[in-house]
Chains A and B, each alone.
Chain A
Amino acid sequence: MQSSHLTTIVLGTSWGPAEWAAFRRGLIKILVITNLILGAYYLLWRGAVSLNWNAWLFALALFGAELYSYIGSFLFGLTVFRLRERGEPPPAPSGLRVDVFITCYNEPVELVRKTVRAAIAIRYPHQTYLLDDGNSPAMRAMAAEEGCGYITRSAVWKGFDRHAKAGNLINALEQTTGDFVLILDADQVPLPQILDRTLGYFADPLVALVQTPQYFINVPPGDPFGSQAPLFYGPIQQGKDGWNAAFFCGSNAVLRREALARTGLRFFVRDVERRIRRALREADTVIRQAERRLTKADRQRIAPALRELRRAVAQARRELDRGDTFQEVTERFQRRAEEAARMVVAADLQQIMADLAEIQAVEAAEIMRALNDEALLAELAARDRSPLAAIETVRQLIPLLVNEAMDYLPISTISVTEDMSTAMRMHATGWRSVYHDEILAHGLAPEDLRSALQQRLRWAQGTIQVMLRENPLTLPGLSLGQRLAYFDTMWSYLSGVPTIIYLISPVLYLVFGLLPVNALSDEFFWRLAPYLIINQLLFAVISWGRPTWRGQQYSLALFPLWIKAVTTAAANVWFGKKLGFIVTPKTRQAGRYFGLVRWQLMMMALLAIAIVVGLGQLALGWRSDGLPVVVNVFWAVYDLVMLSVVIDAAMYQPTEEQ
């Protein structure tokens, strides 16, 4: 028994696909664990004895980059540890009310028409709607010709933040009544069976989302812009699925409306509470500031009122903790604040009347508007004002705040990647998601480098926004596996700075002789080599049968984009700055986009110079450090190969231009 079983494993003769899949999943688990152990074995030694303190800045920087990668491979390993291959979907129950939403903004009408026709032709009974955020008459006419529902923003959006695609979906959800919604980008042409293959999963009443891959049919051979994401729409989403953390990617997904609505309500309540707490915090700051500014003459008169006010803030916090309704908390606070104000009014009626007129509405409203803008808020709280004015401001602030905030949104608006954020919120509310790995729509990818980079920048910016606004590590309601699965995606977008360190390292050695390690000893190689080999092996097994080389090149080569994404998203979240765009370069010549990849080209030049310097000096006998030079030249060549992807991309010309 035992030996024949072993023979089967070794020869793999009588194995079908199911056995191989199980074998692969087991192998992944073994490799993940081996990789973590070998990585720790290497990095502990690196940190303890190998750092070259003569070049300490460089040594620490490289060690930091290696730690970053190790944590990344831990998160990635964890994500794929429970890889879930779902196979055949359960049959779709009949009689569900399903809407198909096609979101468009300013795409060519004929392109959208293709999607509309295919959507109408979906076999499972449904209603099709075109969500035209561009509000264009041509699009409206096309929808009418095709017999497709047509939705534009209702009047209530006038004068308010439109929230781009999230707003477009929210608006349509308000005007439709399907229990399930299939969402399609304007250029994602669905196959007729898309609903039959996905609706079955909703038999589980807790399933909120079924996501299918995004696959692009216009990608030229070699995929110059790295548009396909076979690793993401495959092992990564399947791995996340294993942790119930597969997330919504904006298109080719079916959502349960009740899940969206319920999640929206939950987060609405959470948001109101957060606003009240922040307002109370600001109130505290304002009061303390006022206390510090009290003149001797004022002290007797006003200090008791301020003390009273501070007590009211503390009391309100206690009531929130206790779970009182927001209205009770805020109205009681208001009443206490009014009493405090009256204590002063008795003392100095005239002055407060004068102050009142000026402050009341204006200032409180100003603070309220600033609540989503940390910098402005700090400035307002620190503003010089009389103690009396402080009391009034605090008193006015809270009711304004609560009333204005009253609005629940079924789609998250905290990020430009509303899809990921909404999915994470649904997971935090207890819903389940499914990743169904079957191509059920044929999409179009950007056909020029600028749009491709812009799209990549948006995804990265949106992900960082979510990380900074609702970090999965701390968001209540998520399981540990979900936290880490979401954090994995965010962590991977922080690779910009570590990549620069990796790229610059061989240059520093070959040109300046700076070595980050004490010595390239045998021990160094014996600790590093197994780690690298297992790491690559793991990646190979995970991406088995899927082309991932382009993706690997781009995740390294786009380091300037990742850095830009992090800095702009942070500036947006913390200082209310607008998210940046890819600026069309002035140096564009004849359809070539070298300006877009100038940082990469500079880095390539540096690496090339370093190789020439290192090998040249060695050949001329100016240096005798043969082995380290060879190692670093090898490293630099690898970097060059990875970065070379941007040259192909910048020079790419579509063969048939229209």
Chain B
Amino acid sequence: MAPEFVKGALMEITVNPVDERTAVVQLRGRLDLLVAAEVKQRLVQAVNEGFRLLVVDMSEVSFVDSSGLGALIGGLKATRLAGGDLRLASVGAQAQAILELTTLNRVLRPYPNVAEALQANL
């Protein structure tokens, strides 16, 4: 399965399948209100394509705002309703700060890296 690119104005979203049920979503750029709707839509689409576990790789996200986090919540809901999960990996300092500011880290626990997020058992 080849990676698939969706180019936004300021955000590059890549969905890399790991297996039939699992994919790593690589985000590049600013995750803010300008791209929030697009990101949410892409995450929901991934669930509709059959992925149940989405690991969002945040290592190349330079900035996150609340609307951007809102998009991730939208994706989380889609995975949960399908019986799956959405996990964050390699979250930068700024994103970590806003996760804590919004207390959203109680809903979306960040993992140190993609590998750990993929393997995590609660």
Contacts and interface: CB of A to CB of B under 8 A. Distances in A.
Interface in B28-83: 33-34, 37, 65-67, 69-70, 73-74, 76-77, 80-81
A265 B70 contact: yes
A328 interface: yes
A108 B37 CA distance: 32
A174 B66 contact: no
Interface residues of A, number: 31
Contacts of A327: 85, 107, 109, 122
Given A258-B66, A261-B66, A406 B80 contact: yes
B122 A269 contact: no
A402 interface: yes
Nearest to B121: A331
A265 B73 contact: yes
B77 A406 contact: yes
A257 B70 CA distance: 12
A261 B104 contact: no
B37 A269 contact: no
Give the secondary structure class of A's interface: helix
A567 to B, nearest CB: 36
Contacts of A332: 122
7 contacts: A177-B33, A264-B66, A265-B103, A273-B106, A328-B109, A403-B80, A406-B76
A272 interface: yes
A258 B101 CA distance: 13
Given A257-B33, A403-B80, A403-B81, A262 B66 contact: yes
A407 interface: yes
Given A269-B103, A332-B122, A261 B80 contact: no
B119 interface: no
Given A265-B70, A325-B109, A406-B107, 10 more contacts: A174-B37, A175-B37, A261-B66, A262-B102, A265-B73, A266-B103, A268-B107, A325-B105, A332-B122, A407-B73
A177 B69 CA distance: 15
Contacts of A257: 33, 67
Contacts of B66: 258, 261-262, 264-265
A262 B32 CA distance: 12
B99 to A, nearest CB: 9
A323 interface: yes
A408 interface: yes
Contact of B34 (A177, A268, A269, A403): A177
Interface of A: 174-175, 177, 179, 257-258, 261-262, 264-266, 268-270, 272-273, 323-328, 331-332, 402-404, 406-408, 410
A177 B67 CA distance: 10
B73 to A, nearest CB: 5
Contact of A262 (B34, B76, B101, B122): B101
Nearest to A331: B122
Contacts of A408: 70, 73
Contacts of A328: 109, 122
Most buried by B among A265, A325, A402: A265
Nearest to A268: B73
A257 B81 CA distance: 28
Interface of B: 33-34, 37, 65-67, 69-70, 73-74, 76-77, 80-81, 85, 98, 101-107, 109, 122
Nearest to B83: A403
A266 B107 CA distance: 11
A515 B39 CA distance: 71
Contacts of B107: 268-269, 272, 325-327, 406
A175 to B, nearest CB: 7
Contacts of B102: 262, 265-266, 269
Given A261-B70, A264-B70, A323 B77 contact: no
Contacts of B101: 262
B73 A403 contact: no
A403 B103 CA distance: 18
Nearest to B33: A177
B63 to A, nearest CB: 12
A323 B109 CA distance: 12
Nearest to A154: B37
B37 to A, nearest CB: 6
A324 B98 CA distance: 18
B45 to A, nearest CB: 14
Most buried by B among A262, A268, A407: A262
Contacts of A403: 77, 80-81
B56 to A, nearest CB: 15
Which 8 A/B pairs are nearest by Cβ-Cβ distance? A261-B66, A406-B77, A265-B102, A403-B80, A262-B66, A269-B103, A325-B109, A331-B122
A106 B1 CA distance: 51
Given A266-B102, A269-B103, A269-B107, A402 B67 contact: no
Nearest to B108: A325
Nearest to A262: B66
Given A264-B70, A406-B73, A407-B73, A326 B106 contact: yes
A402 B106 contact: no
A326 to B, nearest CB: 6
